[in-house]
Amino acid sequence: MLLYDNFEIQRVGEFDGDNGEILVEPIFDDGVCDDTYRRVYWTVYGHKPEGGVEALADRDRAEDAAEVYDYFMMLLRFFKKAHGV
């Protein structure tokens, strides 16, 4: 059984909420200024076969997130080939 059937990378940002909490949200607009957020980073998500996603790794640089993504995809291809999935 597969834990994840695909992976994705998403840029996310942390910002201060109204009550002092730290909120995290995906950044879909490339025009958003990184200064809006207290921290901007990239998260690698695993897609669950039954639906939904799970955050697996956070990286400060897109290039580092891409390396993690490539590694997970390589493992997924290997698993599928080995198990005839």
Q: Is the pLDDT of residue 83 over 80?
A: yes
32-72 pLDDT per residue, tens: 776 778 999 999 999 999 999 999 999 999 999 999 999 99
Which pLDDT band holds residue 30 (cuts at 50, 70, 90)?
confident
For the entire predicted model, the pTM comes to: 0.87
**What's the confidence (pLDDT) of residue 27?**
92
Which residue shows structure tokens 């840029």? Answer: 11
